[in-house]
Structure 1
Amino acid sequence: MSFKDSKVVIVGAGNVGSTTAYSIINQGLCEEIVLIDVNWDKAYAEALDMQHSVYFMNRNIKVHAGDYSECSDADVIIITASAPMPKDSHNRLEMLAPSMSIMRSIVGSVMTSGFDGIFLIISNPVDIMTYYVWKLSGLPKNQVIGSGTNLDSARLCCELAAMYDLDAKSVEAFVLGEHGDSEFVSWNSSSIGGKRIDDVLADNADRTRDITKEELLRRTGQAGWDIFNRKGNTCYGIAASGAAIVKSILFNENRIYPVTVCVDGQYDLNGVFLSVPTVIDKTGAKETVEIKMEPDELASLHRSAEIMTSFYRELNL
């Protein structure tokens, strides 16, 4: 795989899909982007608009609307299409039943083309949909990845950085487990400039303004809903997260991101899709990083796993 022949297909040309495509174009991550949507006119218009933007970017990227026959030689297929969030709902799991039908149709069409690349699932509920795509596709588990808690982790890093007036990239902290209500923070592995978060909080008590770990987790989980409630969607953060994952795949970066993968043997779990730190390279999910967790953190991971597996029975596989 190289830039010269790299191709990304994005299924779903709504706010998330289109913004993800634009993020990939801005960074010059591949040679060709194909947009697929049930509303072909929408996909066509978004692709044409983006193709015009390439003129100003010093890029050489082709962007166009297409169909599932173009998935056969794609390196990465990003699925952003999903059922709309039920009105006044703050639970991504309520999207499960309607999203199943959409995902069955998409994956069936993709696999009929002969696709053998890497799936990146962004559609919610992302952990269950990632498991579902893996089952439907029949691909090896390393070739099916979900965006998971990658963005949640970035939001947490931003919250911590704001407390100390730092660049968020100086913070390393993972939100893990379900991308949803049972997610948790692995505080034991979190640090700022190499200093453990527990020590940072203790040594800077006058600057924390009585903000607790529980409050930081609450703010992290609430951030997406705050955005959604005010503008009807979240797109820039998740698009940047998706582009970062794609970059690690196409450029064989071996970056570690907390993404939804099959946890199989690590953390005393087997065959469940959850977000854990994962090495991402050209093969997809290259390796699960088994970090040391405190007993309560490991219990939280297992609680997320129990919630996820309880829904697997409803997938009728």
Structure 2
Amino acid sequence: MSKTIRKVGIVGIGNVGKAAASAIVHENIADELYLSDIDSERALGEAWDFADSIELTPSRTRVSAVPVEELAACDVILVSVTERKKVISSSRLELLKGSAAIAYDIVPKLKKAGFQGIYVIATNPCDIITYLFYKLSGLPRKQVIGTGTALDSMRLRRQISEVIGSIDPRSISAYMIGEHGDSQFAAWSHVTVGGKPFDEYEAENADRFGTIDRDNVEEAARHFGWEIHKRKGNTQFGIGNQLAFFAKSILNDARVITAASAVQEGEYGRDGLSIGVPIVLGRNGIEEIIHLNLNEKEQKSFNASADLIKKYIDQTLAEHEEPAGR
């Protein structure tokens, strides 16, 4: 009897990595979970701690701590590693230098070890680091995915739900598009409630909740992560569960539509960057990039966000180029 073993690895066992690992273990998403961290003793301690917890749950996930090269046998690698520094503003771009150095360290090791699975990247700035993983890994673009604006889109749906009242956020379709950062925006022209375009729904219910201040709703979704960070010093469970959701959707070939940071090859008129857009997520990674027909205002916002990401990608790649003649 043959049996497919579902293997997931996590690089970086800080707050986000631990939250992702907890969801994977206790939802029984993988048969084997491998933890890797620059602090190997910390990773081992976390693995042992999870082993203690499993007997009290329906899960039978086996958790091990391993060097990063041993993650090459995994189906999916979740990347939550980050430079340990204090974040002083809502801009994730200030993390770029340290995160880029980490990418240039670990991706060549995994490439040499023969990793052919799927990367899911939460390390910030997510869009830029996702593109670096794509360039350094040599993998097809469908196998390198950033969590991007997935969590931001969930926040947008929740904000809309709270404003209109009495509608579960899961019955609302809405996406934050662009950079996982300050230049992201809500694609209002594609928001629906129960399949009804939001403009129509709002007009029909004006006597109940009036006209919604869309700028306030969008701003709240854009900066909700920073509001969490200011109060507890990090974001953890939302993004950790998001990573676990991506792993589960890939392993189960769920073909679910979610926002994610995807490498562009002409979609939305752009290439040479990764940016948050809706995708179909399945066993092969990005099964399809969903192209939204943005209105003029939204396309302008998309281009501005893409230009910002591309600027930092080009700058980072130039900084790490080998000198001529070497």
**Same fold flag (TM > 0.5):** yes
Would you say the 8 A contact 1:3–1:250 is kept in 2? Answer: no
Report matched runs for 1:136-147 at 5 Å. Answer: 136-147=136-147
- Distance in 1 (alpha carbons) for counterparts of 2:233 and 2:17: 15
Where structure 1 has 5 or more consecutive residues not aligned to the other structure, the ranges are none
Verify the 8 A CA contact 2:156 2:217 in the aligned structure 1.
Answer: yes
- How far does the alpha carbon of each residue in 1:273-317 deviate from its partner, in whole angstroms, 9 at most, with x for none? 101111111111111111221111111111111111111222234
- Residue type of the partner of 2:282? D
SS at match of 2:271: coil
- In structure 1, the partner of 2:291 is 290
> What is the aligned partner in structure 1 of residue 278 from structure 2?
277
Distance (whole Å) between structure 2 residues aligned to residue 166 and residue 46 of structure 1 = 39
Contact conserved, 1:127 with 1:274, CA < 8 A, in 2?
yes
Q: TM-score, normalised by structure 2?
A: 0.93
Task: Quote the Cα distance in structure 1 between the aligned partners of 2:98 and 2:55.
Answer: 39
Equivalent residue, structure 2, for 1:305: 306
Which residue of structure 1 aligns with residue 70 of structure 2?
Answer: 70
Counterpart position of 2:324: none
- Distance in 1 separating the partners of 2:115 and 2:174: 35
User: Residue 84 of structure 1: CA displacement?
Assistant: 3.6
Q: Match for residue 239 of structure 1?
A: 240
Moved over 4 A (4+): none
Q: Which residue of 1 aligns with 2:196?
A: 195
TM-score by length of 1: 0.95
Using the TM superposition, give the Cα deviation of residue 166 of structure 1 relative to its aligned residue in structure 2, in angstroms.
Answer: 2.1
RMSD: 1.6
Paired residue for 1:252?
Answer: 253
| Superposition map of 1:8-47 within 5 A | 8-47=8-47
Whether 2:218 is the aligned partner of 1:217: answer yes
Per-residue displacement from partner, 1:157-212 (whole Å, max 9, x unpaired)? 11111221222111110101100111011111111111211222233334446541
Structure 1 distance, partners of 2:33, 2:259, is: 25
Shift of 1:86: 4.1
Deviates more, 1:78-87 or 1:158-167: 78-87
Q: Which residue of structure 2 aligns with residue 89 of structure 1?
A: 89
Match of 1:165 in 2: 166
Worse-superposed segment, 85-94 or 187-196? 85-94
C-alpha contact 1:76 1:120 (8 A) present in aligned 2: yes
Pairwise CA distance, 1:237: 0.7
Q: State the Cα distance separating 1:65 from its structure 2 match.
A: 0.9
Higher deviation after alignment, 27-36 or 209-218: 209-218
Residue 112 (structure 1) aligns with: 112
2:37–2:68 Cα contact (<8 Å) kept: no
Q: What residue in structure 1 maps to residue 53 of structure 2?
A: 53
Aligned counterparts of 1:223 and 1:90: Cα–Cα separation in 2: 10
More off after superposition, 44-53 vs 212-221? 44-53
Alignment check: 8 A CA contact 2:33 2:64 kept: yes
Partner amino acid for 1:42?
A: R
